[in-house]
Amino acid sequence: MEASLKEHRGRVSDIKVNKNDTHAVSASYDCSCIIWDIKSHTRIMCLFESTMFKAVLYHPDESQVLTTGSDRKITYWDCFDGQAIRMLDGSSTGEINALAILTEGEHYVSGGEDKVVKIWDYDEGIQYYKGIGHSGAISKIAISPNQQFIVTAGTEGAIFIWHMPKSVLASKADNDMPDADQTVEGMPQTRSEAAKGGN
């Protein structure tokens, strides 16, 4: 072990490291997220909110971090001054446990206690797609390296592989997205369809 950084007073729920392996951000149940300099082993800044943070990630350009937790909010934070710059209602019924973002940073995926996979436009802050299939809370989300698939794990013991909507893959900042809150294209809509291997 090279160093031990002991500033959180509660469980650390998530850690992400930046592209250059110089900084890291940690999320904790103590209502704080800390951005660290992992070369000098020091704290750069601390983000506070009245929530038990469950997930955190860097935007690909590393100018912002995205957090979520027990308050069911998705919050955008500025990495330069540590201020919350946007807060979205991520769910109306349950805590949000997991986040993942596409390589270009134009869309991200959330999931949690409401058992629904949701795809959001980053800049607009609008949920455009949802996927229904899990019977337990969604605990983890990952996006495949080629950006073609979303992988989600649930507390019921299931792992789902979802097709990324074609419009998300094709969209750029100057393209229009479809109407909000659509079902994710190519995703199973019931557990029975998923069990049959339906796309």
Taking only the tens of pLDDT, the chain with its 199 residues reads 888 998 999 999 999 999 999 999 999 999 999 999 999 999 999 999 999 999 999 999 999 999 999 999 999 999 999 999 999 999 999 999 999 999 999 999 999 999 999 999 999 999 999 999 999 999 999 999 999 999 999 999 999 999 999 989 887 544 555 555 555 544 544 343 443 344 4
Q: Are residues 110 and 78 in the same domain?
A: no
Answer yes or no: is 179 within a domain. Answer: yes
- Per the structure, the complete domain to which residue 146 belongs is given by 94-199
Total domains in the chain come to: 2
Q: Are residues 65 and 104 in the same domain?
A: no
Strands of 159-163's sheet in order across: 138-143, 149-154, 159-163
Q: Are residues 112 and 83 in the same domain?
A: no
**Are the C-beta atoms of 33 and 65 separated by less than 8 Å?**
yes
Cβ neighbours of residue 1 closer than 8 Å, sequence gap 6 or more: none
User: Which among 89, 104, 124 is the end of a domain?
Assistant: 89
Q: How many CB atoms lie within 10 A of CB 59?
A: 16
Report the alpha-carbon distance of residue 51 to residue 87 in Å, rounded.
Answer: 13
Q: Which residues in 110-125 are b (16+ Cβ under 10 Å) and which e?
A: bbbbbbbbbbbbbeee
Answer yes or no: is 39 within a domain. Answer: yes
Q: Are residues 153 and 66 in the same domain?
A: no
